[in-house]
Structure formats: C-alpha cells, structure tokens
Amino acid sequence: MLSFFKTPRIRGGVHAEEHKTATAALPIVSNFPLPKKLYIPLQQHVGKPAEPIIMVGEKVLKGQLLAYSQGLISAPVHAPSSGIIVDVNDYPAPHPSALPIRTIVLETDGMDEWMETQVAPDPFKLNPEEISFRVGAAGIVGLGGATFPTAVKLNMGRENHVDTLIINGSECEPYLCCDDRLMQERAEQIIDGVRLMLRGMENTDAINRVSTNAVVAIEDNKPQAYVAMRAAAEPYAQIKVIQIPTRYPMGWDRQLIRYVTGKEVPVGCRSSEIGVTIHNVGTAYAVHKAIRYGQPLLGRVVTVAGGAVKRPMNVEVLFGTLISELFDFCEVNKEEIARIIMGGPMMGDSLPHAGLPTVKATSGILALTQSELKNTDEQPCIRCASCVSVCPAGLRPLDMANNIRINQLDAAVDIGLKDCISCGCCSYICPSNIPLVQHFKYASGEVVARQQAQHKSEQTKKLIDARNARMERIAQQQREEELARIAAKAERERLKAEQEALV
Amino acid sequence: MMVHMKPSSGAHVGANNSVSHIMWQVMLALSPATAFGLLCFGWPAINLFIITVLSAVVFEAFCVRLKGRAAKPVIMDGSAVLTGWLLAITLPPWAPWWIGVVGSGLAIILGKQVYGGLGQNLFNPAMLARVALLISFPIEMTIWANVSPLFFSHSPGLIESWHITFLGLDNIDASTGATTLGFIKAEFSQNHLLTDILKDYSGFLNFIGGTRGSLGETSTLLLGLGGIWLIRQNIIQWQIPVSLLLTVALLSGFFHFADSEHYVSSLLHLNSGAMMCVAFFIATDYVTSPNTPTGQLVFGAGCGLLIFVIRTWGAYPEGAGFAVLLMNSATPLIDYYIKPRIYGRDRKGKPLEIPKS
C-alpha cells in the first residue's frame, strides 16, 4: 500500500493517436542524395548565433568549422559536406514567420571529403573538462528539440555534483520515430555516448565526489528499442534502462525527472541544481560520434511522415538540406499538403513553405492533410475544464486564455503564463477548438515586448531628467557667473572712484 | 505551394470531440429516463416536452439574430436543445403550455444570453428558470399528475391532451396528487410520525420511476444508469455526483439514525425528487461548476448539504434547484481558492525550495 502512494505520479497529459506505425518498422534511410546546395543557418541553437570565420568563395572540407560559438551559451556550426562557400547572407529561417536569418550557403562538390580528424585513442583517459570541451567544439546541442548546448549542461552537471543522468528516449510526440529507430539500430553507440557523458560529468574533486548513474527512459510503446538498449547497457552497472508509460508529454524533461527520481525542479532552477540532468538519446549518439571519431554534428535522423507523404521514412540528412528536397525524396503529394510542420504535431511549428533548411532542431518534418488537422472552427469556451485536467504544469489554460482575450496580460502572468511549456495538451483536448497555445505564445511575446517598451520609456525618461538637471545646472552656473561679473564690475568701479577721489 | 498560415503553433492534431458531441452525449444519457417519463405521463407530457424544447430553440435563435450572427451554427451546438430538455424534465408533467414557453424564455434569455451566451452564464439556466417558475407560479408548478401511461384506457388521449396542455386541467383532484416528498412534508406539519406517513410508500416503485413527480425525474434507476454511462464516457467526472449523493446520504443517515420518526432515511432521500437528475445532469454542468477535482468535491458536498437542509427544515419539500443555484454563485469563489498546484511551485505560487542534500 505504501508503495502505491510512492509511485511517481504523472500529471495531466493526453494519449494522442500515435501514427508511428508507418515509419517505426522501417530502417533508417542513409542514402539520401547529397544536395547541390546547403543552407546552413548560424542560429540553430538556444543562445547567441555563431559567428562565421570563412569567406565567400572559400573551399571547405566536410566537418570544417564554418562559424565559431559566441559567448557562454552558443554552439559552433560546421560544414556538412565539402564544397565552396557561395554566400553568407540572410535567408528565410525554418520558423513560422520564415523571417530571414544569417545563413551560410555551401555549394557541394560531390566529393564529400572529410577534413583530418583528431581522435583520442582512449577517450575515458581524457579529462572530464576535455570531454565537454570537445562536445562543445563539435557543435552538439540537445537534439530532442530544445537545442540547448550540450557542453554547457555537462559543465553544469560537473559543477553541481549531479547524481542522476536521465537519457530521454520517450519520444512522446505522435508521428516521430527517429529516436525509436536510432535506439533500435545504434543502441551500442548510444550507450557509449552515455558513458562518455557520464565521464564528462565526473567530478575529479576528491572530497565532493558523487558517482553518477544513468537512467535511459523509454516509453513502453517502443518494446524493440527497449530490448536493444537493455542489451547494449547490460555490461555497465551504472546504466539502467527502464520503461515508462506512454503518455504525452512524458518527454517533457521536468515530467520525466519527477517520474524517474520523484524530485520536482523548482521554478527558476536548472535541473542540475537538484542533482539531475537530462539528455536526449540523439544527443548521446552525437557525443559518441564526436568523441570516438572526432566528427562534429553535421546531420541527424529526421522523420518524414504525414498523410501527404507517399514514402514516409526516417532519413539521415545533413543540416542545410531544403525541406522541399526531402519532400521530393519521400514522394510527397504537394496538392494534398494542408500544413507543413517542423517537429511533432503537438509542439511543432507550422512552416509557411518547403523552401527552408533542416536544422539541428528538426526531429521531424510532417506534411499533414486537411483530414489529419484539428478543426479550427472556434466555438465559445464551455468551461469543461479538460484543459485544466490535461495540463502537466498544473495551470488553468481557460482562465489564462480569457485574461489574454481581454488584454489582461498581467493577470495571465499572475496565474502562471510563464510556467506554460507550450506542450499543446490543452489545444489538443479543447472541444471548442480554441487555439490556447497560440494565445499563450502571443501573450508571452507581448509581455516581453511591453517590458522592453517600458524599459525604453524609463530609460528615455531618465535621459530627459538628466538633461533637465544638466541644463538647470548650467543656467545656475551662468547666473552665478553673471552675478560675480556684476559684483566684480561694481568693485572695479568703486576702486576707480576711490582712486579718482584720491587724485 | 503556400500552405494555410493559420495556427502556427501546436497542437496541430486534436482529440476527436466537440461541443455538440458533448451535448448530444448528455441528451443520449437523458433519453431513457425522459422516454420513461413521457410514457408514464402520456400525451400531455409529450406536448409539454416538445413545446419547451422548441421554444428554447426559438428563443436562442432570436437572441443570436439580435446579436447579428447566424443562428444555425449556434443552434447546432445543441446547448439550447439540452437546456430546454433539462428544463422540461423538471416541470410538472401536465403543466400548461405557457409554463414551458415562459420557462424556456427565462432559461435562454435571462439564464444564458444576457450573460453573453454559451459558457458565460453564472447560474444553471434550467434551474434558474425552474426556480423562477416555482416562485412566480406556485400553483401550476405543484400540480402533480397521476401516473397514467400512454395508451391506457383511463389515460388522456391525444385530443384530450391538447385540452389539458392548452386550456388547462378540468378535474384536478381526480387525476393529480402529491409527490412523495410533498406528502411527507404536509404530514409532518400535522405532527404525524414517519411510520404512519410511509404506510403506502413503495421504494421499488420510486426506484423504477412509476410515481408522481417531475416529467423526467422520477426514475432513479434510469437517471442513475445514464449518469454512470456519462462518467464512463468521460463526459462528466465522478467528483460532483459522488460527493453530492454521499453528503445527502451521510447527513440524512445520521439524523434518521438519531430520530427515525421525524427524519427521512437516506434511501428515501436518494430515491426521490430531483436527486439523481441534479447529481448527474444539473450540478455537473461544466459552465457553472468548479474546474478542479477538489473544487468539484466541495461543490457537490455543498449542493448535498443545501438539498438536505432545505428538504428537512425549509418551506419547500424539494430544494435541489435552490441548492444548485446557491452553489453556482459560490463557484467563482471555489475556483479562486482551490487551484491546481503549478509544477515547481508550492500551493501559494512561490517557487519550491531546492532540497538540501
């Protein structure tokens, strides 16, 4: 009975139709033809954009550094193939707005010629600092979609004496299977990556030494991946592979942390502060490739699926490949596409067209038909509270949306707008088809904009006040000088008069 | 190849549900009890039911047209039909036509549209209308027809039913009587004891629904089954019905145990009046009940308490309508104080502290 109460609770969430069967059984396709041109955005991660160090017209080799990481939270970008740099300019970003961002355009030469790579013979002899340095230099970011620089997380893990490393293999978004296939086909490499991550987080400080254990969590709708990963992790006592219930959003890092460790990450803290850190399986694989083979992050496995896709698949592509080329390869019926989505259907963003590049965050590209989409015919809220019961963060989406609708953004912030993770459960379940997440994203952006505007007006006011004070000071000074001059003049005249009187 | 730009963020897929689907499921759950009531009370009841539902739809269409919007999509969401339906089953089965029309007008116009339409109202429209009718027209609202099933020889035929519905009932004493709760209340006022009062009471008949009472509220069995089906369909949650029924059962059980001659037993309470209808279909109205499971438990318990108090010590034999309206007005307060805890924060909304280890 006691254990019943101790069972880690899963809060909220939905069980969305999975749509995974189309691609889950197919091996990862790795013969995607090398694109003629690659469009490599300089911002493919959270943080500051990378700064280019190549010139237009320069010839680069595969894996060569194109742009270095700027600042503490940033990641470098490398050449996905060999060829010539033809442009460094603004091109549309893979974002709902498709606004231009700085992008390097690489014309491939078809040779796919690697640069020389440096590999340590036994990576486990490397310093932990050296491992995270190499991970950072390889441009590895969280491949689950958050794209937070992995090296930063490893460093934080080392500094905060993390005792649990969770490897997120839940892949809870419908349609997506790239992590599932990766675990099935490359389990040993992933486990090797996990071991390297553990080494990278090891604290060599003898006094506060904490031994870190890894837990690979896989949703129970992926039994084959579970078997493969279990077998691969068998020899290593510090790595445990567990099955977790299939329920979206199980892969939300904080939900998974609570489920696996029973701990809750306080608002405003990083998970490492409570001794837990979490990485995606794809990231672990990228770490394996970076440390064992010296290969930077140049591409990833992308799920291409959806009703309009004739040959849905998981395909390994280079960053910078245009989505339209992927669609041609997967024989997408362009007439049937009602919406293109980057990522999963719950949290992904819709893209305005297919002329956009794939980036580090692209776990999937979905071409959905009208019948697959949620009805957008909005009806009044009937306060059914389904959104309250499915919210994994414990928010009240209906009240937040009502406040936003009447422009009471501060009230929405007060009841938890900033704690919204945009998981999409509320929008998914809403019987009135209210686009709740859309409301929240709008409001969050608007709150930031208003704060900036307020900050600006305060700054302006400060400047004006300072100027007024300065002018006042100058006027005062002038008045004083004037008075002094008059006094001096009077004094001079008095002296003159005295002298004249003497004479 | 421009694709529709509309919603740019998720969820792009959705659960297979809609407002009208929910409304129709509730009506489906109500239909066995309603059909049984119509069967029991015959043609006049059928007339009243049709008039009430139709006029609810007409009033809804009228209000929506006044707002300058197309009426058809709003009618099709089924909420007006459901409101009319719920009102109709709480009316005395042989009430005259204008009771249905006035009731629907009160429910739709005063109960719902003046607040801004679906989802905006503070009070349950059907209960608001019923209580307003009861206070305004106490005589018409307390004439309870005898059970006179369709096609029985002594039941009114189709033509006669039109006379009853449109011109009024001629021989009131012959074809009407008191409900169980009304009878008990009247007898108590003459200082009779419960054992004498309940000599002719049949719990089984009340359970099936073959007794005097509101049009579709008599059958504990069918309403209960419909309600349980709704819970299984995940249309309503168990919290409100369970806490409401449990509160009434515990309170009445306690008083009955203490003084069984002056306080009615739990079973009789649960088995009579509007209890089942209110617990499963009225109090669970999404719009006017709290949003959180705990809030719903409080709401249900409050309804149960008020029903028991009004039935036992109030002037009316049945207090379900008043109880629900009173608790409706407390819903915003309940929602203000009972909120889910946000992840990573304590109940007051402060960030959790980092555990020392």
- Please indicate, yes or no, if residue A34 is contained in any of the structural domains: no
When pLDDT is averaged across residues A157-178 and rounded to a whole number, the result is 91
Contact B197, B188 (CB under 8 A): yes
Tens digit of pLDDT for each residue in A248-259? 899 999 999 999
- CB contact under 8 Å between B287 and A383, yes or no, is yes
pLDDT given at position B206: 84
Which of B3, B5, B12, B352 to mutate against chain A (most A CBs within 10 Å)? B12
When pLDDT is averaged across residues A78-101 and rounded to a whole number, the result is 93
Nearest CA in chain A to B2: A353
Q: Report the C-alpha gap between A229 and A281 in whole angstroms.
A: 10
- CB contact under 8 Å between B15 and A438, yes or no, is no
- Please indicate, yes or no, if residue B355 is contained in any of the structural domains: no
Looking at the complex, report in whole angstroms how far the Cα of residue B284 sits from the nearest Cα belonging to chain A: 10
- The H or E element spanning position A129 is helix A128-137
Looking at the complex, report in whole angstroms how far the Cα of residue A267 sits from the nearest Cα belonging to chain B: 5
When pLDDT is averaged across residues A227-254 and rounded to a whole number, the result is 93
Please give the ipTM for the structure prediction.
0.88
CATH at residue A233:
3.40.50.11540
Q: Which segments of A234-350 does DSSP mark as H helices, in order?
A: 253-261, 281-293, 323-329
Tens digit of pLDDT for each residue in A381-425? 999 999 999 999 999 999 999 999 999 999 999 999 999 999 999
- If asked whether residues B208 and B283 sit together in one domain, one would say yes
Which of A156, A210, A322, A388 to mutate against chain B (most B CBs within 10 Å)? A388
- Please indicate, yes or no, if residue B184 is contained in any of the structural domains: no
- Please indicate, yes or no, if residue A493 is contained in any of the structural domains: no
Confidence grade of residue A217 (pLDDT, cut at 50, 70, 90): very high
Q: Report the C-alpha gap between A133 and A500 in whole angstroms.
A: 90
pLDDT in tens, chain B (357 residues): 333 446 788 789 998 889 999 999 999 999 999 999 999 999 999 999 999 999 999 999 999 999 999 999 899 999 999 999 999 999 999 999 999 999 999 999 999 999 999 999 999 999 999 999 999 999 999 989 888 888 887 788 888 888 888 888 777 777 888 888 888 888 888 888 888 888 888 888 888 888 899 999 999 999 999 999 999 999 999 999 999 999 999 999 999 999 988 899 999 999 887 899 999 999 999 999 999 999 999 999 999 999 999 999 998 888 899 999 999 999 999 999 999 999 999 888 888 888 765
Q: Which class for A499: exposed (0-12), middle (13-18), buried (19 or more C-beta within 10 A)?
A: exposed
Radius of gyration of chain B (CA): 22
In the block, tokens 């709401």 appear at B299
Read off the DSSP letter of residue A251: T
Q: What are φ and ψ of residue B77, in 5° steps?
A: -70, -10
Q: How are strands ordered across the β-sheet holding A100-108?
A: A37-41, A100-108, A83-92, A59-60
pLDDT given at position A6: 53
Nearest CA in chain A to B17: A431
Domain count, chain B: 2
What is the DSSP secondary-structure string of A176-243?
--HHHHHHHHSHHHHHHHHHHHHHHH----STT----EEEEEEETT-HHHHHHHHHHHTT-TTEEEEE
- Please indicate, yes or no, if residue A364 is contained in any of the structural domains: no
- If asked whether residues B149 and B257 sit together in one domain, one would say no
- CB contact under 8 Å between B12 and A425, yes or no, is no
pLDDT given at position B120: 92
Looking at the complex, report in whole angstroms how far the Cα of residue A301 sits from the nearest Cα belonging to chain B: 22
Task: Tell me which residues of chain B, numbers 74 to 93, contact chain A at a CB-CB cutoff of 8 Å.
Answer: 77, 79
Of B5, B344, B357, the CB nearest to A264: B344
Of A265, A392, A431, the CB nearest to B22: A431
When pLDDT is averaged across residues A296-312 and rounded to a whole number, the result is 94
- If asked whether residues B159 and B209 sit together in one domain, one would say no
In sequence order, the 6+-apart residues with CB closer than 8 A to the CB of A472 are none
When pLDDT is averaged across residues A426-442 and rounded to a whole number, the result is 93
Chain A residues inside the 8 Å CB shell of B340:
388, 391, 394-396
Nearest CA in chain B to A348: B10
- Please indicate, yes or no, if residue B352 is contained in any of the structural domains: no
Q: What are φ and ψ of residue A370, in 5° steps?
A: -55, -40
Chain A residues inside the 8 Å CB shell of B11:
16, 345-347, 374, 424-425, 427-428, 437
- Does B17 contact A at CB distance below 8 Å? yes
- Show which of B143, B177, B211 is a domain's final residue: B177
- Please indicate, yes or no, if residue A190 is contained in any of the structural domains: yes
Tens digit of pLDDT for each residue in A31-41? 999 999 999 99
pLDDT given at position B165: 86
In the block, tokens 């698949």 appear at A313
- Please indicate, yes or no, if residue B56 is contained in any of the structural domains: yes
Q: Buried b / exposed e across B106-140, counting CB within 10 Å, b at 16+?
A: bbbbbbbbeeebbbebebbbbbbbbbbbbeebeeb
Is residue A100 helix, strand or coil?
strand
- Please indicate, yes or no, if residue A267 is contained in any of the structural domains: yes
- Please indicate, yes or no, if residue A137 is contained in any of the structural domains: yes
- Please indicate, yes or no, if residue B183 is contained in any of the structural domains: no
- Please indicate, yes or no, if residue B153 is contained in any of the structural domains: yes
- If asked whether residues B172 and B56 sit together in one domain, one would say yes
- Please indicate, yes or no, if residue A113 is contained in any of the structural domains: no
- What range defines the domain where residue B96 resides? 20-177
Q: Which class for A211: exposed (0-12), middle (13-18), buried (19 or more C-beta within 10 A)?
A: exposed
Looking at the complex, report in whole angstroms how far the Cα of residue A17 sits from the nearest Cα belonging to chain B: 8
Contact A244, A154 (CB under 8 A): no
- Does B68 contact A at CB distance below 8 Å? no
pLDDT given at position A206: 57
Q: Report the C-alpha gap between A349 and B10 in whole angstroms.
A: 7
Q: Report CA A295 to chain centroid distance, whole Å.
A: 22
Contact A153, A273 (CB under 8 A): no
Looking at the complex, report in whole angstroms how far the Cα of residue A4 sits from the nearest Cα belonging to chain B: 20
- Please indicate, yes or no, if residue B103 is contained in any of the structural domains: yes
Contact A261, A149 (CB under 8 A): no
Of B3, B9, B342, the CB nearest to A337: B3
- If asked whether residues B218 and B159 sit together in one domain, one would say no
Whether residue A353 is predicted with pLDDT greater than 80 in this model: the reply is yes
Chain A residues inside the 8 Å CB shell of B19:
379-380, 382, 431-432
Domain count, chain A: 1
- Please indicate, yes or no, if residue A255 is contained in any of the structural domains: yes
> Residue B73's CB: how many other CB atoms inside 10 A?
12
- Does B153 contact A at CB distance below 8 Å? no
Confidence grade of residue A144 (pLDDT, cut at 50, 70, 90): confident
Task: Tell me which residues of chain B, numbers 91 to 120, contact chain A at a CB-CB cutoff of 8 Å.
Answer: 117-120
In sequence order, the 6+-apart residues with CB closer than 8 A to the CB of B290 are B296, B298, B299, B331, B334, B335, B338
- If asked whether residues B35 and B123 sit together in one domain, one would say yes
Is residue B345 helix, strand or coil?
strand
Looking at the complex, report in whole angstroms how far the Cα of residue A421 sits from the nearest Cα belonging to chain B: 11
- Please indicate, yes or no, if residue B266 is contained in any of the structural domains: yes
Label the pairing between strands A59-60 and A83-92: antiparallel
Chain B residues inside the 8 Å CB shell of A94:
none
- What range defines the domain where residue A139 resides? 1-16+128-294
Chain A residues inside the 8 Å CB shell of B15:
14, 16, 428-429, 431
Q: Which of A202, A214, A383 is nearest to A283 (CA)?
A: A214
Q: Which class for B357: exposed (0-12), middle (13-18), buried (19 or more C-beta within 10 A)?
A: exposed
Chain B residues inside the 8 Å CB shell of A401:
none
Which of B13, B63, B123, B289 to mutate against chain A (most A CBs within 10 Å)? B13
pLDDT given at position A38: 95
pLDDT given at position A8: 58
Q: Report the C-alpha gap between A134 and A124 in whole angstroms.
A: 13
Contact B295, B335 (CB under 8 A): yes
Nearest CA in chain A to B357: A274
Contact B307, B351 (CB under 8 A): no
- CB contact under 8 Å between B5 and A352, yes or no, is yes
Task: Tell me which residues of chain B, numbers 158 to 187, contact chain A at a CB-CB cutoff of 8 Å.
Answer: none
When pLDDT is averaged across residues A352-360 and rounded to a whole number, the result is 94
